[in-house]
Chains A and B, each alone.
Chain A
Amino acid sequence: MKKLLSLVLALAMCLTLVSFASAETVEEVIAQAQNMTLEELFQKAIEESNGKRFDAVGNSSRGKSVLPIFVEELQKINPGYTLDYEGGWQQPKENKIFDQLTEDVNGANHVMSMTLIQDGNQIQSKMLDTGLLLNFVPKDWQEAEGVAKEGNETPLALQTLNKVFMFNNLGEKTYTNMWDFVRDGEAPLFMGVNSELVGKNFLYMMTNDKYATIAKEAYEVWEGRNPEDDALIEDMKLDAEDLGLTGENVQYGLAWVYLWCEKYNEETDDGPICNTLVTTSAKDQAGLLVYSKLRSVEETAESSVNNITVAAYQDGYVGIGGYAYKHYLMLTKTSPLPWTSCALIAYMTTTQDGFKAWGKDMGGYAPVPACMQDHSHDGGDEFPAKNDRGYDWWINEGKLVVEEPAYCASVSGTMSDWIDGIVAGK
Chain B
Amino acid sequence: MTTATTREAGGFRRTWNRFRTYISKPQNAILLALGIILTITTIFPMYTIVRDTVRLHPGSIDTQEKALNNQVDALGTTLTTYNWTNLFTDTITTRVERERVTRSVASIYLWTPLLNSVLISIFACFGAILYGGVFAYLVTRTNLKFKKYLSSIFIFPYIMPQWTLAVMWQNLFNSNAVTGGNDGLFVALFNTYMPKWWCEGLFPVSVVLAIHYAPFAYILIGGIFRNMDANLEEAATILNTPRYKTFFRVTLPLVKPAILSTVLLVFSSAMGSYPIPHYLGLTTLSTQYVGMSSNRAGQASILAVIMMLFGFLILIVNQRTTSGRKNFTTVTGKSGQSSVVNLGSVGKYVCSILFVLLTLFTGILPIILFAVETFLPNPGDYSFLTHGIVGHTTTKWWVTSENVTENGMYGQKGILYNADIWNAFGGTFLVAICCALVAGTIGTLIGYCVSKNRRSKWASYVNNMAFLPYLMPSLAVGVAFFIFGSGVGIYNTFLLLILAGTVKYIPFASRSALNSMMQLSGEIEEAAIIQDIPWWKRMTRIIIPIQKTSIISGFLLPFMTCLRELTLFMLLCGQGKIITTMLGYFDEMGLYAFSSGINLILIVLILLFNTLVNKLTGASIDSGIGGGD
Contacts and interface: CB of A to CB of B under 8 A. Distances in A.
A85 interface: no
B386 A302 contact: yes
Interface string B387-410: 101001010000000010111111
B382 interface: yes
Contact of A235 (B75, B100, B403): B100
Given A106-B75, A130-B74, A285-B176, A300 B392 contact: yes
A422 B58 contact: no
A275 interface: yes
B59 A98 contact: yes
Contact of B590 (A94, A269, A409): A269
A306 interface: no
A106 B491 contact: no
Contacts of B318: none
A416 B71 CA distance: 23
Contacts of A296: 378, 406-410
A382 to B, nearest CB: 14
Given A93-B571, A107-B487, A300-B383, A265 B405 contact: no
Contacts of A266: 281
Given A96-B482, A298-B407, A194 B188 contact: no
Contact of B574 (A93, A195, A258, A279): A93
A303 B378 contact: yes
B127 to A, nearest CB: 25
A262 B234 CA distance: 63
Contact of B59 (A126, A239, A302): A126
A265 B486 contact: no
Interface string A389-426: 00000000000000000000100110011101110110
A275 B188 contact: no
Contacts of A283: 176
B92 A418 contact: yes
A99 interface: yes
Contacts of B94: 417-418, 420-422, 425
A341 interface: no
B489 A302 contact: no
A125 B176 contact: no
B74 A301 contact: no
Interface stretch (B285-293, B345-353, B527-535, B618-626): B285-293
B571 A301 contact: no
Interface stretch (B17-25, B33-41, B543-551, B580-588): B580-588
A417 B102 CA distance: 12
Nearest to A192: B291
Contacts of B176: 281-283, 285
A285 B182 CA distance: 9
A419 B343 CA distance: 58
B491 A100 contact: yes
B100 A94 contact: no
Interface of B: 58-59, 61, 64-65, 70-71, 74-76, 92-98, 100-101, 103, 105, 107-109, 112, 176, 179-183, 187-188, 278-279, 281, 283, 290-295, 377-383, 386-387, 389, 392, 394, 403, 405-411, 482, 486-489, 491-492, 570-571, 573-576, 581, 584-585, 587-591
29 contacts: A91-B574, A91-B576, A94-B570, A94-B571, A96-B571, A98-B294, A100-B492, A103-B487, A106-B74, A125-B59, A130-B58, A238-B100, A239-B100, A268-B588, A275-B378, A278-B378, A279-B380, A281-B183, A281-B188, A296-B409, A298-B378, A302-B382, A303-B377, A412-B64, A413-B61, A418-B92, A421-B95, A421-B96, A422-B94
In the A-B complex, the 5 residue pairs with the closest CB atoms: A421-B94, A271-B590, A125-B59, A126-B59, A194-B291
Given A61-B575, A95-B290, A425-B95, 18 more contacts: A65-B411, A91-B575, A94-B571, A100-B486, A107-B487, A130-B59, A235-B100, A275-B182, A276-B181, A281-B176, A282-B181, A283-B176, A297-B408, A301-B383, A413-B65, A416-B61, A418-B92, A425-B94
